[in-house]
Amino acid sequence: MQTVNGANEIYTNGDGVEKSTWATKTGLAQMLKGGVIMDVVTPEQARLAEDAGAVAVMALERVPSDIRKEGGVARMSPPELVAAIKEAVTIPVMAKARIGHFVEAQVLEALDIDYIDESEVLTPADDRFHIEKHAFKIPFVCGARDLGEALRRIGEGAAMIRSKGEPGTGNIVEAVRHLREITGGIRRLQTAPREELMTIAKELGAPYELVRQVAAAGKLPVVLFCAGGVATPADAALVMQLGAEGVFVGSGIFKSADPARTARAIVQATTNFRDAALIAEVSKGLGEPMKGLELGAIPAESLMAPRGW
Amino acid sequence: MAPTIGVLALQGAFIEHERALERLGVASREVRQRKHLDGIDGLIIPGGESTTIGKLLDVLGMTEPVRALGRAGLPIWGTCAGLILLATDVGRPQTTLRLLDIGVERNAFGSQLDSFEARVPVPALGEEPFPAVFIRAPLIARLGAGVTPLATLTDGTIVAAERDGLLATAFHPELTDDPRFHQYFLDKVAARTAWDAAPETVAATR
C-alpha cells in the first residue's frame, strides 16, 4: 500500500492482524467517496441525515453559521453529544477537534468515533503547530486552501483532505477558489520537469517526497473532499465537476427551509453530478436555501479559512 | 468478445474497481442510472456506505432492475457494502437486493479503530493467502442453502462466499494490487457468457 514518510504506525495483536494502518485510515475515506458528509447537532438530525443518504455525519455543538453568529470560543463537541449521535446511526461518525488541540483529539479517539476533523471552524488552540496525526490510531481529515497546505497536513498524517471554503456562509466562492488552487497546483506539478520539484516543494512549503508522489500520480495520495459554503444541489455538483471526490455540507442543510428534502437532493446531485436534468429535477420545490453571506461583509478577523497554516 | 463489466458508481470506491479491471485489460462502465445497466455482462457493487447506496438505488428506480438481472443470472460481485446489498438478511430495515441467501452483521468488528488488515487464506484462489483490508467491515453470520464459504478468518468467521454467479467479500480486493479476486469474478462472467452462447456444450462439459 501507499506509504507516506513515517505513516506506518502499525498496531498488531500478534495474530498477523494489523489495525490502524495507513491502508485502513485512508481506506475509510475511499469508501466515503461520491458521498455527502453532513453536520449535525442532535441525534435526531443525525438520523435525518442517514435517512437522506449521508455517508457520514459530523457531530458538533453548533453549525458553523451559528458559531459565526454567536461568537465566543468554539471547542470540541461535548462527549455525551458525540456518544448519543454515535448511538443514533450506523454510518461513520466524525467530530471536530481544535487545530493543535491534541488532547481534544485524544478524547475523541477514546470515544471510539470513526474520524477526527482538525478544523478551522473551531477556535485554534495552537497558533503555530497542528496535531501530529501519525501518533493517533484514529484517522484525521484536515482543511486546506492550496496544495502546499494539503501536503503539509498529509505530511503530519491527515488521511483525508477537504478544501476549506469559508464555513457557515452558504457562499460557494471560497470553496471553488480553494479547490481550484489544489487541483491547479497538482496540474502544475504534473507538467514540471523533475529538477524543478525541489524548488517547487520549497515554495509550496510541502514535503519533497509528497510533491514527487503527487507529480507522478496526478492526484493527492489521499481522498479530496470539498467543504465550506455548499448550500444547494447545484453547489454540490459544481464542486464535484471541479474535481472534489465528495462533499461536506455544514450549515447548508439544517439552515434550509426543508432540511430532509435539501439533504436528499444534495445527495442525488453529488452522485449524478454531470446530469443537469436530474439536478434540475431534484432542485425543484426545495424552498429557501440558507440565507448566505457575502464574503466582503465578513470582517477579516472573523474569517475561518485563514486559521491554520 | 471482451465482456463489459458494470461498476455501480452511485457512491463509494468504484474507481478502484475500474482500475483493477483495467489492469486486467477489461473494459468497465460506470453505472449511475438505470439506462447504464443495458448490455453489461457482470456488475460489481463497490464498498461505500450500504445505506447510502441502497437509498440511491431506490430513488433512482434501480433496485428492481438490478434484482431482476441478478435473478436472471447476471454475475454480481459485492465488496463490503456490496456484500450487504446482496444479502437477504442484514438484521435491520434497509434496502438490499436480497439476491444471496446470507445473514450479515454490519460493522461486525467495531468502529473504525477496529478496521484491520490481514492475510486471509482463500483456497479457491490458490495457496498464497489474500491481502485483505477490512474497513468497518461486515461478516457473514449465516449461510443459506447452496451458498459456499470462500474465506474464513482463523476464528472461523466467514468473510467471503459465493453461489453461482454471485460473489460476496467483506473486504476490499480493489484496495490492493492482488488481481486474483477480480480474475475470479471475470471467470464467472466468462462462464456465464459461454453458457448463454452454447448452453448444451457447457452443460456437457460439467
Closest CA of chain A from B65, distance in Å: 18
Residues of A in contact with B135 (CB under 8 A): 24, 27-28, 31
Q: With an 8 Å Cβ cutoff, is B115 touching chain A? A: yes
Looking at residue B200, what is its pLDDT?
A: 55
> Reduced to 3 states, what is the DSSP secondary structure of residue A36?
strand
Looking at residue A38, what is its pLDDT?
A: 97
Looking at residue A138, what is its pLDDT?
A: 96
CA distance A278 to A153: 36
Looking at residue A9, what is its pLDDT?
A: 35
Contact A27 B133 (CB under 8 A): yes
pLDDT tens column, A85-136: 999 999 999 999 999 999 999 999 999 999 999 999 999 999 999 999 999 9
pLDDT of residue B186 exceeding 90: yes
B105 is known as an active-site residue: no
A241 pLDDT tier (thresholds 50, 70, 90): very high
Closest CA of chain A from B201, distance in Å: 42
B182 is known as an active-site residue: no
> In this structure, is the dihedral angle defined by the CA atoms of residues A47, A48, A53 and A56, taken in order, positive or negative?
negative
Looking at residue A3, what is its pLDDT?
A: 36
A37-60 mean pLDDT: 97
Q: With an 8 Å Cβ cutoff, is B92 touching chain A? A: yes
Q: Give me the interface pTM, i.e. the ipTM.
A: 0.90
The beta-carbon neighbor of A24 closest among B13, B55, B133 is: B133
pLDDT tens column, B75-92: 999 999 999 999 999 998
B171-181 mean pLDDT: 97
Looking at residue B206, what is its pLDDT?
A: 42
Question: What CATH number is attached to the domain comprising B11?
Answer: 3.40.50.880
pLDDT tens column, A251-300: 899 999 999 999 999 999 999 999 999 999 999 999 888 888 888 888 88
- Write out the three cell numbers for A208: 519533497
Q: With an 8 Å Cβ cutoff, is B108 touching chain A? A: no
Looking at residue A293, what is its pLDDT?
A: 86
Could you give the dihedral angle defined by the CA atoms of residues A51, B32, B108 and A24, in that order, rounded to the nearest 10 degrees?
-120
A15 pLDDT tier (thresholds 50, 70, 90): low
Number of folded domains that form chain B? 1
CA distance A258 to A52: 12
Q: Per the confidence metrics, is the pTM higher than 0.90?
A: yes
Looking at residue A71, what is its pLDDT?
A: 87
Catalytic residue among B16, B18, B162, B172: B172
B137-158 mean pLDDT: 95
CA distance B106 to A231: 32
Closest CA of chain A from B70, distance in Å: 23
Give kind and range of the element (H or E) at residue B43.
Answer: strand B42-45
The beta-carbon neighbor of A27 closest among B51, B60, B175 is: B175
Give kind and range of the element (H or E) at residue A141.
Answer: strand A140-144
- Write out the three cell numbers for A175: 470553496
Looking at residue A49, what is its pLDDT?
A: 97
Contact B47 A92 (CB under 8 A): no
pLDDT tens column, A150-159: 999 999 999 9
Looking at residue B204, what is its pLDDT?
A: 47
**What rounded mean pLDDT belongs to chain B?**
93
Which residue range is the domain that position B113 belongs to?
Answer: 4-203
